[in-house]
Structure 1
Amino acid sequence: MTETSETASQATDRPGPLREFWYYFRENRGAVMGLWIFVAFVLVALFADLIAPHDPTAQFRKNLLQPPFWQEGGSIAFPLGTDALGRDILSRLLHGARYSFYVGIVVVTVAASGGIVIGLIAGFAPRWLDAIIMRIMDIILAFPSLLLALVLVAILGPSLTNAMIAIAIVLQPHYVRLTRASVLSERSKDYVTAARVAGAGRLRLMFVTVLPNCLSPIIVQAALSFSTAILDAAALGFLGMGAQPPTPEWGTMLAEAREFILRAWWVVTFPGLAILVTVLAINLMGDGLRDALDPKLKRS
């Protein structure tokens, strides 16, 4: 009776999965800081219409290239200055967060969904089909990611939607390889054998039995891919192959400000800082997710 009560008390005192996750995640202070910055980034993206002082495409022709904190009539009309067309940089940055967040969500969703399905198929497929799938992924990975994205956008046409499609295709092989490796390590375990003996079909084994146990590295990869998607979208926008003017996307803002970099530093500095801070926060958060979800990194 005593041993039974002790076992029951230990089971009761054991923290739930969410509490255990937060316990290990908060040990990484950089990850917690990155999480709060990411939450602020999400809130700015959601409420940009309410926060922004001006319309992001409105042109104030009397205030071209005004420096930050320029006072007009005793009040600061443009806290971060204006660009060459007289548009408020702060308003464009706030709305640009919405585009960046949108790009990250769409790219990660498309790349992860397709990559997970293909990786599961490769992990359970016959050896010849597995070899064909992986060689195709190796070919895609052999090209520089930005160059391949540029080629795809050149074929599809320059636009934000086509840029997201191209970036998702470029990132997909990472999910395929990661999912396949996790499946190969899980499919030989006892619980998979038991499910197979119990009569579980191939699809049930793939998506119900094995996939939930492969999600930890995929979640970490998704967090890191989010920042990669923002960077690649900004790079394509900077090269004129992503979002097109007057869209207030951070990479497009950098492209429009290139010729004014020496005489109007603010038009380049603030979009660049927005990209830097956002990507750094997501990468820090990804490190915390890895520490919290990988059992090998957890300290007893």
Structure 2
Amino acid sequence: MAEYTAETEHGLQPAPPPGPVREFWHSFKENRGAVIGLVVFSTFLLIAIIAPLLAPYGPAQQFRDHLLQPPVWQDGGSWQFPLGTDPLGRDMVSRLLYGARFSFFIGVVVVAIATFFGVVIGVIAGFAPRWADTLIMRVMDIVLSFPSLLMALVLVAILGPSLINAMIAIAVVLQPHFVRLTRAAVLSERAKDYVTAARVAGSGQLRIMFKTVLPNCLSPIIVQAALSFSTAVLDAAALGFLGMGAQPPTPEWGTMLAEAREFILRAWWVVTLPGLCILVTVLAINLMGDGLRDALDPKLKRS
């Protein structure tokens, strides 16, 4: 860590240590890839929020006289549709902008559900009797034994293809990772002196579990949530591509790929542009997650 000094009337004296936010940012910004990822992620998030203001047309508005019109830089393109149109004559710019909205909405909802239930179950498992802990973890192991996309497909097939059901399925698939991570962190914390002191002071079991121990387990959970965000976006796009996620005409990036796959040889932009959006978003989130891990894990901080 960098040394901070302050000038006083007695000369240079060590300044008080920086606050947690400043210390986190000092560690985070050392990873240039993480900073780039944060900038890209923030840009996409801003685009998703103000998509209705940026989109020149509605995401479902059709222009029948401009089917599969190429982008502006290709012969036949025009500035009316800078990134071209899809097979139904819908503006690609507008659909990509609204697609960012759906992808980020999916990521936020899925990660929120998976984190909440995963953390609660993980804390309970960490404090539960041995038989209950074993039962919970064996159930989680069974879920993890299936490939995540296959498990999500099975759940969506049972619930029915829709965006909401796809989000529920992805949250169920991601939840065991949070359970295992939280349980491991709780087991390492519950034997420490401050937990014993809380028990001696008369704190109840629930207070010890969720107010004393859990706040000290948040660092790895935050990192897992950031990395799970990219997994949620990828899995939602995969389900949409297979027709089991968002249904047309929803402008979700995976669904856009599915609608345009038969035109890939004569209209490359209808497949390439949504694919690039997925690639850049997931890459940015993964870079940011690596930076969060380095900044929040004391073992990885540089001296």
Shorter-chain TM-score category? over 0.9
Give the 5 Å matches for 1:44-55: 44-55=47-58
Q: Which residue number in structure 1 is paired with residue 298 of structure 2?
A: 295
CA apart distance, 1:13:
2.3
Q: Select 1:79's aligned residue among 70, 77, 82.
A: 82
CA offset digits 1:107-152 (Å, max 9, x no partner): 0000000000000000000000000000000000000100000000
Q: 3-state DSSP class of the match of 2:115?
A: helix
What CA distance in whole angstroms lies between the structure 1 residues aligned with 2:153 and 2:33? 33
Contact 2:77–2:84 (8 Å) recurs in 1: no
What CA distance in whole angstroms lies between the structure 1 residues aligned with 2:203 and 2:76? 74
2:78 aligned with 1:66:
no
CA offset digits 1:215-234 (Å, max 9, x no partner): 00000000000000000000
Contact 1:67–1:82 (8 Å) recurs in 2: yes
Q: Which residue number in structure 1 is paired with residue 244 of structure 2?
A: 241
Q: Select 2:185's aligned residue among 171, 182, 186.
A: 182
CA offset digits 1:44-96 (Å, max 9, x no partner): 11000000111110010000000001799996100110010000011000000
What CA distance in whole angstroms lies between the structure 1 residues aligned with 2:27 and 2:161? 43
Consecutive unaligned residues of structure 1, counting only runs of 5 or more, are none
What CA distance in whole angstroms lies between the structure 2 residues aligned with 1:161 and 1:138? 25
Q: Select 1:31's aligned residue among 30, 34, 40.
A: 34
Q: Which one has a larger percent helix, Structure 1 or Structure 2?
A: 1
Give the CA RMSD over aligned residues.
1.7
Consecutive unaligned residues of structure 2, counting only runs of 5 or more, are 1-8
Q: How many residues get paired?
A: 293
Q: 3-state DSSP class of the match of 1:77?
A: coil
One-letter amino acid matched to 1:132? L
Q: Which residue number in structure 2 is paired with residue 40 of structure 1?
A: 43
Normalised by the length of structure 1, the TM-score is 0.95
Q: Which residue number in structure 2 is paired with residue 116 of structure 1?
A: 119
Contact 1:123–1:183 (8 Å) recurs in 2: yes
Normalised by the length of structure 2, the TM-score is 0.94
Contact 2:69–2:77 (8 Å) recurs in 1: no
Q: CA, structure 1 residues 177+59, in 2 after alignment: closer, same or farther (shift >3 Å)?
A: same
Q: Which residue number in structure 1 is paired with residue 92 of structure 2?
A: 89
Contact 2:70–2:77 (8 Å) recurs in 1: no
Contact 2:55–2:94 (8 Å) recurs in 1: yes
